[in-house]
Structure 1
Amino acid sequence: MEIEEIRLKDFRCFYGESTISFSGDPERNVTIIYAENGVGKTTLLNALLWCFYGQTTARFEKSEDILNYDAKAEGRMIASVEVRFEHNGSRYVAKRFQRSGATGASEKPFRVARLEAGSQIYDIEPEDTFINTVIPREMAGHFLFDGEHAEIFLGEQNRAAIRDAVRDILGCTLIETAIEDLEAISKAFRRQMPGTGHSTQITDLNNLIDTINTQIDQSKDLIAQNELQRRSVEDQITDIEDKLRNTAQAKGLQGERDSLQGQMVRAERRRSEQEDDVLKWLGDEGRFIVSRRLTEEAFEFIDSEEHRGRIPSPYNEEFVRDLLHDETCICGAHIAPGSEIARKVASLLNHAANQAMRDRVTKVRGRLTNLKAGRAKAPERLMAAKRSLAHTNEEIGFIEARLADVSAKLKGVNFGDIAERESRREELRKELSTLDRARGTLEENLKTARHEVARHEREINLLAAQDVETRIFARRRALCEKIKGSLEVRLRDEEAQAKKVLRATIRKIIEATSRKNLTLQMSDDYVVSLRNADGIALPKSSGENQLLGLAFTAALVQFAKLRKGAQDMSLLPGTIAPLVLDSPFGQLDRVYRSATAEFIPRMASQVVLLLSQSQAADEVMEKLQGRIGKQYVLVRHNKGERGLKHIETRQFGHEIIETTLFEASFDGTSIVEVQ
């Protein structure tokens, strides 16, 4: 999809009719719209979203109040947005309007027409379905992107937003709806098992399962609320730490604390490993110590009995049998079979030692020798492990003392509300720990409840197997569960594949743009972090979060492009669409702005940038030169007098445009193209 033109009529701050034509040149694929805060950048982004889907972003206040105030005062009643675009080789126009007051029964607020030979052909129905094939509603928010809040979207623990974004680009709506429907059908089949012989038992089990499922739903809701609370607390902590970090007098102390916290993580990891070593010693070598008395007494007994000729025995079994076989004593006397002498010789077999007994005595002596040798070496190994653990504990104690000292210094800083922020940060961390403990309890309860449901369902299946009529519903339910399970596995596999692609793309962008030698990590549960060479997750600045957010958006757009031709009945195909970025450089410093401006034109085949003067800095424009196809300026009109207000202008080459006008005929915004 490529946007050709947008036309606004009395839409919010845009009084009268205003038009913007977007660049369609593949080499100069960037259209820039310059405007200061409050003049209309965010309104333009929302005009596109509203035209296609009838919705706006969360930050678009009073979203139901669309009609321009001056137009309404003059008696005009209709606000509209019209977008002309190309898709798959054909041209279309989409138009949405809102009428103030009563709406005619025959009026359709949204229409889409094909453009052919200058005519508009209205043969596309339903229009909403068609637009969803161009840019699926779920994906739209990632192409119409609010850059100022990129850092919030990519917050350290904002797993839900990232997971939703991945699922949006995958087009998971169909498969998720199917899973929900199958779950409902499976439940209905379970309730329809009459069970002639066991109807009461099945009914009781069904009621019990329904009760537990209600508890499961409540637990899920509580977990979701916990996640929202946790996210809110983390945002507050991040905000406080950013303010502490960016406060000039506290910057050094905050940096030292960041370093100490990194050292603490590494030291605690070493301590855990060393404690494991001590426990391992007890398992592997503790027997050497506790066997001391055993080995001493065993050796004393064996040595004594050997000396007395009792161990292994004064006679060998083989020797005695040889005498009886040869019928000759060692003295040469004859041993007649069955004689008294033969019986006496044979009686020696009762106490004679065979080879197995001699081997046992040898093994016992060998093991006792090993225990004795191990006992001599074991204490040193234990002492070495304890010395390492003591050294690490000492290091942790030192770090804790330094952290306490830094915290005390921050609390004692004599300016602003630094101390209050420090105290509030500690309170929030305690609140975070409380939420984590509550989350753990809820998840454990949820796990137990699911096991209970599974157990009761097995009981129902056993009862159902005993009745022909009941078995029919049991089989139908089993089929639903099987299909649902297959879809869930499919969804997990698709997500896993998507995460691999996104990780690779984001890493490539971060490596090219970040000034630090950092590695991106996105865990399986969507925790996004930047890690140093030691693998330590580092706190991200607002600028780094915004850069990461833009990189993530670029990865989503590229992934959607890769999936454009996907032939899949369960997932929506991807799409190619313009990328509209509102204030993408807001939190970036000079270096990051330059790096970001260089890769933004490559993020999509058509890029629209909504920039204030501060964001359109020299380093940004230098990188964008050669990629800009169209430029516009939003001009603010005011009915009132200028008074003491300064004249605001923007210069483009030799052209100077006044961007704030007074004593105008209306209050609102006009659009001026820059040549």
Structure 2
Amino acid sequence: MKLLSIKLCNFRQFYGTTPEIFLASDGKNTTMIHGNNGSGKTTLLNAFTWVLYEKFTAAFIAPQLLINKRAIMQVDIGTSVNCWVEIHFEHEHKRYKVKRQCYACLDQDGKIQYSQNKLFMSIIDEDGRYYPTLQQPNDIINRILPESLHQYFFFDGEHIDHIFRSNDKSRIAEDTKELLGVKVLDRSIDHLKKVEKILEGELKIIGDINIKKKLKEKTKLEQEQNSLQEKQQNIIETIKSQDIEQQEISQRLINLSKNEEIKNLKIKLEKQESNLKNEIRDAKKQIKSRISSQGYLIFLSNVIPKFSKIITDLRQRGELPSGIKKQFVEQLLKSQTCICGQELIEGNIHYEKVKQWMDKAGIAAIEESAIRLESQVNEMENKVINFWDNIDEKQGKLEKSRVELSNVERELDDINQKFRHYPDIEIRQLQKSLDKIKQTIRELRLEQGGIQQQLSTVEKQIETLDKEVNKQKLKEEKQILAKRRIEAAREARKRLIEVRSRLEKQFRLSLEKRVQSIFSSISFTPYLPRLSQDYELNLIENTSGKAVNVAASTGENQILSLSFIGGIIDSVRNLSQKNTLMGPDSSTFPVVMDSPFGSLDEIYRRQVAKSIPKLANQLIILVTKTQWRGEVQEETNNYIGKEYVLVYYSPKPNCEKDTICLNGVDYPLVEQSPNEFEYTEIIEVHHLNPVVNDEVSNSG
């Protein structure tokens, strides 16, 4: 899972819709978010856990109050206010949009009433189109990063050691089993035990349909279907008109630009972007077509050797091919004359000797079929090789096109960034209009995807009703294979128990070794972490030759906890890279941490700051000004790809303002609120590259 962006609307301190917060990855993998205490750092951390898992950290006070106070107080009683969090993330070359939202309103007693929150998920293709997922959003998220492990990837640094308190140790063991896949084995063992009992009974499916009621439901669904199709068509027409306007503005922008190099590069890159998207779309179609028409070949790998062995055995026994054909022997007996001239009269010795060849002779039709089959099988083997070669070639081209598209999009974004900061105000306005149109198209396609999802649901409901009207479900009894299935379930359960025992022991020792390595790289003490069979994490001192438990300080507990999390991340990554069927379905993981340096002294702060960007593929850190200054700034600066500031607006009269200096620019941390409400805004810290700076200064 690679987090791409997050956006909030009326979520706690954040009033209205925030700008989209884009998150760093790859080389500069760290996103730094600055904010004072109370400005919304913990809220931002919990926005991730809420949208993905509907969970909150222990430090998140009053989790039942999600709606922004200003938003709810400025509307009439009974009027609903929307509250949502939306994130975009990438996994296995697929982009996902996940949104969780709820509604709130004030009742007559002045109390806030909330609706049930809802979770939505869409897949975004290379053209920016949104498609509904075929599986439940929760299932997809839990397959990529299980809910039981989320606390190790989204955590409050100041309270991280709480995870390892004595009353939570049993939960840590359970969470680690989930990571390892042991929980899958536990569930499988329990399930097999239940299956044994289920198979002993009778399986019945009872159908009873009220035809009139079903027909009425179908009519209502068909009306809804027509309405959705009309909306879909209107959106398609709007997107077309927006596309035309986008092309016109883009052309005007290119014509106005005085920098020929940028102009030509933009034209070239836009053409490359269009071509690459077409190539990716065509490659996907070709791969699907190939698999659809020849995918069956891969299942012949085990059958072909068996056939070859049968033919080889027949040849070794002399049965294929045979020198004498059965039809030839029959003809001799019928003519009553051998090829040597001897009479073959039924009952004499010569007749019986020739007749014995009937059992030894071959059948011409069988031999011809065997030879023809052998030839076809040889062709099949070549087809299997050609199939994989073709698929590998097309997958390679697809991956190459994706990499090229990513590079082209990055270059185009750099050019657009230059136009956003261009000295000519008309060019800046055109780029702003272009950005707005792109956002509009994006939102329309999102709406289009939602309508398509509704249409698919309605169509399936209509199809189901048709089947229910046309036929009734039949009652079946599945008892014939029950005994054999019960025996198979018992044997499978016995073997799974043995696998679970071996896997737990091997993994625990491997995890302990990795935690020790990370802890030693950060701590200057001679202590080593020790992981018990119950996954109890302790520090031991072994200088006297005897292992003795050590009472860890607050700082050491925090480092110990970070080391455990680093070991967890490494273990998940290794499991996924080994293509295990039980571990999480990912090899890239984000870590979002709030105030990870709070209880550390200067030395440990530096060591932790130096280590954490290397622990995860992607890092999002929320810090106060005090935690950021000095060694943390020095050690993390080279890893920062994105940077933001949380500006807190205080309604307190004559409140003391505060700022933070980043890259030589002062950014506000605390401002006076223009009304009686407190709220927070998010602003981006700009890192202009030297090329843009030179161009702006030369134009001035």
TM-score tier after normalising by the smaller chain length: 0.5 to 0.7
CA apart distance, 1:29: 0.8
Change in 2 beyond 3 A, CA 1:495/1:574: farther
Cα deviation, residue 549, structure 1: 0.3
Provide the residue aligned with 2:626 in structure 1.
614
- Work out which of the residue numbers 123, 127, 142 in structure 2 matches 1:117: 127
Question: Is 1:590 matched up with 2:602?
Answer: yes
Aligned ranges 1:87-98 → 2 under 5 Å: 87-98=91-102
Query: 2:527 aligned with 1:518, yes or no?
Result: yes
Moved more, 122-131 or 26-35: 122-131
Q: Does 1:580 align with 2:592?
A: yes
- Please tell me whether the aligned partners of residues 144 and 584 of structure 2 are also in contact (alpha carbons under 8 angstroms): no
Offset from partner CA, 1:355-403 (integer Å, 9 cap, x none): xxxxxxxxxxxxxxxxxxxxxxxxxxxxxxxxxxxxxxxxxxxxxxxxx
The residue number in structure 1 matching 2:680 is 669
Q: Distance in 2 between matches of 1:5 and 1:495?
A: 36
Which residue pairs with 2:575 in the alignment? 563
Deviation (angstroms), 1:51: 1.2
Q: What is the CA-CA distance between 1:569 and the residue it aligns to?
A: 4.5
**How many angstroms apart in 2 are the aligned matches of 1:103 and 1:13?**
17
Structure 2: distance between partners of 1:566 and 1:488: 22
1:627 aligns with 2:639: yes
Give the match for residue 145 of structure 2.
135
Aligned residues of 2:15 and 2:70 also touching (Cα < 8 A) = yes
Distance in 2, matches of 1:9 and 1:524, equals 45
Offset from partner CA, 1:268-318 (integer Å, 9 cap, x none): xxxxxxxxxxxxxxxxxxxxxxxxxxxxxxxxxxxxxxxxxxxxxxxxxxx
Residue deviations 1:311-352 (CA, integer Å, cap 9, x gap)? xxxxxxxxxxxxxxxxxxxxxxxxxxxxxxxxxxxxxxxxxx
Partner of 1:447: none
Q: What letter is aligned with 1:607?
A: L
Distance in 2 (alpha carbons) for counterparts of 1:60 and 1:638: 20
Partner amino acid for 1:521?
R
Q: Retained in 2: the 8 A contact 1:640–1:662?
A: yes
CA distance in 2, matches of 1:142, 1:16: 30
Q: Label 1:108 to 1:26 Cα distance change in 2 as closer, same or farther (>3 A).
A: closer
Q: Distance in 1 between matches of 2:550 and 2:648?
A: 42
Counterpart of 1:69 in structure 2 is 69
Q: Distance in 1 between matches of 2:58 and 2:573?
A: 26
Q: Return the offset for 1:634.
A: 1.0
The one-letter amino acid paired with 2:532 is S
Shift of 1:123: 4.4
Deviation, structure 1 residue 582: 1.4
| SS of match in other structure, 1:44 | helix
Matches of 1:121 and 1:187, distance apart in 2: 41
Within the candidate set 626, 648, 653, 2:658 is matched to 648
**1:144 maps to amino acid:** F
614, 622, 639: which one aligns with 1:602: 614
Output the CA distance in 2 between the equivalents of 1:190 and 1:544: 56
TM-score (norm 2): 0.52
Q: Equivalent residue of 2:148, what SS?
A: helix
Q: Which residue of structure 2 aligns with residue 407 of structure 1?
A: none
- Residues 25/527 of structure 1: CA separation in 2 closer, same or farther (3 Å cut): closer
- Relative to the length of structure 1, the TM-score reads 0.54
Shift of 1:617: 3.3
Is the Cα contact below 8 Å between 1:175 and 1:571 reproduced in 2?
Answer: no
- Alignment correspondent of 1:368: none
Deviation, structure 1 residue 20: 4.8
- Whether the 8 Å CA contact 1:114–1:123 is kept in 2: the answer is no
> Is 2:167 the partner of 1:153?
no
Aligned residues of 1:134 and 1:575 also touching (Cα < 8 A): no
Unaligned 5+ runs, structure 1: 193-471
Q: Is the CA contact 2:595–2:624 (under 8 Å) kept in the aligned structure 1?
A: yes
The within-5 A match list for 1:286-325 is none
CA distance in 1, matches of 2:568, 2:115: 41
Out of 183, 188, 193, which is 1:178 matched to? 188
Q: For the residues of structure 2 that align with 1:150 and 1:614, how far apart are their CA atoms?
A: 19
Hey, what does 1:305 align to over in structure 2? Answer: none
Q: Is the 8 A contact 1:170 1:573 kept in 2?
A: no
The corresponding residue for 1:426 is none
1:146/1:563 CA distance change after superposition, 3 Å: same
Q: For residues 171 and 11 of structure 1, do their structure 2 counterparts lie closer, same or farther at Cα, with a shift above 3 Å needed?
A: farther
Distance 1:165 1:149, change over 3 A: farther
CA distance in 1, matches of 2:3, 2:573: 16
- 1:497 maps to 2:501: no
1:540 is the counterpart of 2:555? no
Give the conservation status (yes or no) of the 8 Å contact 1:85–1:91. Answer: yes
- 1 CA distance for matches of 2:577 and 2:611? 25
Report how far residue 74 of structure 1 moved: 2.1
Shift of 1:638: 2.3
Shift of the 133–528 alpha-carbon distance from structure 1 to 2, 3 Å rule, reads closer
Are 1:509 and 2:518 counterparts?
yes
Q: 1:570 to 1:549 in 2, by over 3 A?
A: closer
User: Which of 78, 82, 91 is residue 78 of structure 1 equivalent to?
Assistant: 82
SS of the counterpart of 1:548? helix
CA distance in 2 between partners of 1:658 and 1:609 (Å): 19
Q: How far apart, in 1, do the equivalents of 2:164 and 2:485 lie?
A: 43
Partner Cα separation in structure 2 for residue 44 and residue 618 of structure 1: 24
Residue deviations 1:564-622, cap 9 Å, x none? 24444455545422111112112111111111111100011110011122321311111
Q: Distance in 1 between matches of 2:618 and 2:115?
A: 38
Please point out which of 487, 499, 504 is paired with 2:496: 487
Q: 1:589 to 1:611 in 2, by over 3 A?
A: same
The Cα shift of 1:555 comes to 0.9
**Distance in 1 between residues matched to 2:674 and 2:114, nearest whole Å:** 32
Q: C-alpha separation between the residues in 2 aligned to 1:126 and 1:608? A: 27
C-alpha offsets along residues 431-473 of structure 1, whole Å, 9 cap, x if unaligned?
Answer: xxxxxxxxxxxxxxxxxxxxxxxxxxxxxxxxxxxxxxxxx99
Give me the whole-angstrom Cα distance separating, in 2, the residues matched to 1:35 and 1:104.
31
Cα RMSD between the aligned structures?
3.0
Amino acid at match of 2:5: E
Distance 2:657 2:21 in 1: 28
Distance 1:109 1:520 in 2: 40
Report what 2:59 is aligned to.
59
For 1:155 and 1:618, the matched residues in 2 are separated by 31
Q: Distance in 2 between matches of 1:560 and 1:130?
A: 17
How far apart in 1 are the matches of 2:102 and 2:63?
Answer: 12
**How much has 1:104 moved relative to structure 2?**
9.7
Question: Structure 1 pair 132/62, CA: closer, same or farther in 2 (3 Å)?
Answer: same
Check the 8 A contact 1:155/1:545 in 2, yes or no.
no
In our comparison, the structure showing a higher alpha carbon Rg is 1
Q: Is the 8 A contact 2:2 2:25 kept in 1?
A: no
3-state SS in 2 of match to 1:555? helix
Q: How does 1:227-238 map to 2 (within 5 A)?
A: none
Give the letter aligned to residue 593 of structure 1.
R
Query: Is the deviation greater in 571-580 or in 26-35?
Result: 571-580
Equivalent residues in 2 for 1:417-456 (5 A)? Answer: none
1:657 and 1:487 map into 2 onto residues whose CA distance is 58
Percent of aligned positions with the same letter in both sequences? 28
- Partner residue, 1:418: none
- Asked whether the 8 Å contact 1:581–1:608 carries over to 2, the reply is yes
Deviations 1:462-512 (A, max 9, x none): xxxxxxxxxx99997776554334323322322222222211211111111
SS in 2 for 1:162: helix
Aligned to 2:516, the other structure's residue is in SS state: helix
